[in-house]
Chains A and B, each alone.
Chain A
């Protein structure tokens, strides 16, 4: 996963962020912290599989998020279906 793809997901899902050594990003719903991930400042691709697991998405769902066919509301429904909300 490219850094700009990560940033696109963070924006589409409306995740909160904090810039430290890495960019920390977490998804909040109704005041609760639901998922959490991060983007390293280092070079090279980010580990797709591990970020997918942290966001509690399937491979296809993460690809949909990258191509912008999955947005915030869709993510909420996925997380609700998994009992994470």
Chain B
């Protein structure tokens, strides 16, 4: 049985030189050399909406606003309205850390909700409006 490579036929010139020999004067060689990079620069969003905590006990019913920044070479994902953050070497790690931390925050404040000071009471009000137990 013929291999795939054996069945594929390419048509047309395969090199600039071959094209130039077939159609003189038609090939324009760019004056600016093309630089190939090993990787593209990674674009990190300034903010995003978080819709899951990856925790089977909890579900988000209203997405959390997350602000992304860099501090000391680390990526920081901050849920500003909860005064909570996660961080890591890259965006994925920072978001995973934030998800775990927010779940932990929910469970701790739920357990302590009858004895929260005004600052954490405000956080709990926001948390309980946006996150529900499954």
Interface residues of A (CB under 8 A from B): 20-22, 24, 29, 31-36, 38, 40, 42, 44-45, 47-50, 53-54, 56, 83-85
Contact = CB atoms under 8 A, between A and B. Distances in A.
B79 to A, nearest CB: 11
Nearest to A85: B117
A34 B123 CA distance: 11
A32 B105 CA distance: 16
Contacts of A50: 71, 76, 78, 85
Counting chain B residues whose Cβ lies within 8 A of the other chain, the interface size class is 20 to 34
- Sorted nearest first, the 6 A-B pairs with minimum C-beta distance are A34-B117, A50-B85, A32-B117, A45-B72, A84-B119, A47-B71
B67 to A, nearest CB: 11
A35 B97 CA distance: 20
B112 A84 contact: no
Contacts of A32: 115-117
Given A34-B117, A40-B97, A47-B72, 14 more contacts: A20-B104, A22-B101, A29-B117, A32-B115, A33-B115, A33-B120, A34-B119, A35-B119, A36-B108, A45-B72, A47-B74, A47-B85, A54-B84, A84-B119
A32 B116 CA distance: 5
B104 A24 contact: yes
Interface in B65-94: 71-74, 76, 78, 83-85, 87-88
Given A20-B104, A47-B71, A47-B76, A53 B83 contact: yes
B85 to A, nearest CB: 5
A49 B116 contact: no
A56 B78 CA distance: 16
A70 to B, nearest CB: 18
Contact of B117 (A22, A33, A45, A53): A33
